[in-house]
Amino acid sequence: MPLEDLLALLTTGVTMGAVYAMVALSFNVAYRPTNVFNMAQGELVMLGAMFAWGLMTAKGLPWVAGLLLVVAAVSAIGLFEEWFAVATLIRRPSHHHGWMISTLAFSIILINVGDHVWGTDPQVVPAIPGASLDTVQWGELTFNTQQVAVVLVAVLGILADEWVYKRTLPGKAVLAVAEDRDAADGQRHEALDLTMTSFALAAGCAALTGVIAAPLMLASTSIGLALLVKGFMALAIGGVGSNWGALVAGIVLGCVESVSSVSLTPGYRQVLLLVLVLGLLLVRTFGLFGRAGVREV
């Protein structure tokens, strides 16, 4: 394979890996205070992409204004999901894992509503301001500035998340709830507020992911499931709770997926990725950067 082609494939892999890492980041934001993996996270990304198409392309709204409206709308949907499909269940020990079904059901509802409203045809979403999809040649390396912007947004998103949880009082409160949910239930009102806020922020992060990924992937109601699976793979390999681990894992997944596309059909590529995930988890049970859950008493 010529070096130029290999570098192009790796560039695509790094870009998609950054998208997978953003999905994993949104998983982590919702998971910390709730111990709930939101199985509708991929469809929230889909909503971000489709809302962006509707506002920025169909309605011609400026990109920044459209982004703010998209994030606000999807955050509100995430807040509704927390109230409708999660909050009641996690308060009942007998239904502690009922969220797996309830959030999956919510995702199916979103898919069907999306298909009814927008149809299944892929739609074009404008690139981030200052970026474009035009090819840039730099020696043997070819890329576009939208790809660079996606990677930068992923890194900045992780830096912002790390700062919030390590440097701010609300962030430390969320980590305290994550450390001991039972004790936090004694402060029920505060714990519930943090849970609701985290779900809204996770949905907003998913919406941002949809907006920045859509120019490269095209906006479609079918992108949610694929991003859910790849984002969860990145989360598992990197280690639950480790955003930098998710970024590394996402890039590995993206590069393996991209390079293998030359010789493998989509079905076999999925098998290869699953074998990779299984192999890594057999060696590192808690992921590359994860750690066993130890609770001090």
Whether residue 83 is contained in a domain is answered as yes
Average pLDDT for residues 1-16, to the nearest whole number? 89
pLDDT at position 138 is 85
Q: Which of 7-21, 50-64, 81-95 has the lowest mean pLDDT?
A: 81-95
How far lies 30's CA from each of 38, 86, 111, 174, in Å? Answer: 7, 11, 20, 10
- Selected residue with higher pLDDT from 247 and 100: 247
pTM above 0.85, yes or no: yes
- Selected residue with higher pLDDT from 48 and 89: 48
Phi then psi for 137, rounded to 5 degrees? -105, 125
Whether residue 59 is contained in a domain is answered as yes
Whether residue 287 is contained in a domain is answered as no
- Selected residue with higher pLDDT from 198 and 191: 198
pLDDT at position 66 is 95
Local confidence band at 207 (pLDDT 50, 70, 90 cut-offs):
very high
Whether residue 70 is contained in a domain is answered as yes
CB 191 within 8 A of CB 65: no
Total number of domains constituting the chain: 1
**pLDDT tens per residue across span 210-265:** 999 999 999 999 999 999 999 999 999 998 888 999 999 999 999 999 999 888 88
Question: What tokens appear for 150 in the block?
Answer: 């996606």
Q: Which of 25-29, 46-50, 148-152, 238-242 has the lowest mean pLDDT?
A: 238-242
- Reply yes or no on whether the pLDDT at 3 is more than 90: no
Q: Which domain holds residue 180?
A: 3-224
Mean pLDDT of the chain: 86
User: Which residue bears the tokens 């239930």?
Assistant: 185
User: In this structure, is the dihedral angle defined by the CA atoms of residues 276, 210, 114 and 200, taken in order, positive or negative?
Assistant: positive
Whether residue 278 is contained in a domain is answered as no
Whether residue 165 is contained in a domain is answered as yes
pLDDT at position 295 is 45
**pLDDT tens per residue across span 171-192:** 777 766 666 555 555 555 455 6
Whether residue 230 is contained in a domain is answered as no
Whether residue 119 is contained in a domain is answered as yes
Share of the chain above pLDDT 70, in %: 88
How many residues does the structure list for the chain?
297
Average pLDDT for residues 36-43, to the nearest whole number? 90
